[in-house]
Amino acid sequence: MTIGYLALVAPDALPACRSVHGAREVTSLADLDRVLRSTCSSTSTSLDLYGHATRGHNHLRIGRDVIDTLDPRVASCFATLLTDGVLSRAGIVQLRMLGCSTAIGPAARASLARLARITGVPVVGTRRALLAAHHGPDGFRPEFARVLETFAPVARGRLATPRR
């Protein structure tokens, strides 16, 4: 099965993502919500969020918003995207947090696992710093898949187990 991608890029990551065809800038969680609500796809799609990670905890940043699911506002945003059927209408089958080391450290890993549980789709983070060379015209280059770690959605009360 071929999976397409929807590349949404934080303003400060635009220079590194210049080569990604169709990449669209998003400046906040509200902007992310607006773009997804206006997207409809009949094909399976990876929602690729490009940005920089915060220092210390390695959470992806979109503008001033930090994608940390312990923040009730962030968790609510993604839960609403699921319950309103936005993710389904957009064809989203996975969410990739494409910033430096977004799957490194306990806080980042717990947040990604919780995001997978909230959205019901696999959430992918990175185990290394990313460079412009990691992505090309068709988005994140598959030959660099070894730097990714996937957190599968699981039922409440069970721990998510990462897949490499």
Q: What angle do CA 8, 2, 153 make, to 5 degrees?
A: 65
Task: Indicate the pLDDT class of residue 2, thresholds 50, 70 and 90.
Answer: confident
For 71, the token pair is 């923040």
Give dist(CA 10, CA 27) in Å, integer.
Answer: 6
Query: Given this model, what pLDDT does residue 161 score?
Result: 54
Q: Do residues 17 and 50 lie in contact, with contact meaning Cβ atoms separated by under 8 Å?
A: yes
Report which of residues 159 and 55 the model is more confident about.
55
Beta-sheet strand order (sheet of 52-53): 52-53, 60-62, 65-66
What is the span of the domain harbouring residue 55? 4-163
Query: Given this model, what pLDDT does residue 154 score?
Result: 80
Over residues 16-32, the pLDDT tens digits come to: 898 999 999 999 999 99
C-alpha 97: how far from chain center? 3
As for how many domains the chain has, the answer is 1
- Mean pLDDT of the 72-100 span: 97
Query: Given this model, what pLDDT does residue 57 score?
Result: 95
C-alpha 129: how far from chain center? 15
Q: Do residues 65 and 35 lie in contact, with contact meaning Cβ atoms separated by under 8 Å?
A: no
Query: Given this model, what pLDDT does residue 89 score?
Result: 96
User: Which of these ranges, 3-7, 25-29, 113-117, 124-128, has the smallest mean pLDDT?
Assistant: 3-7
Q: Do residues 148 and 128 lie in contact, with contact meaning Cβ atoms separated by under 8 Å?
A: no
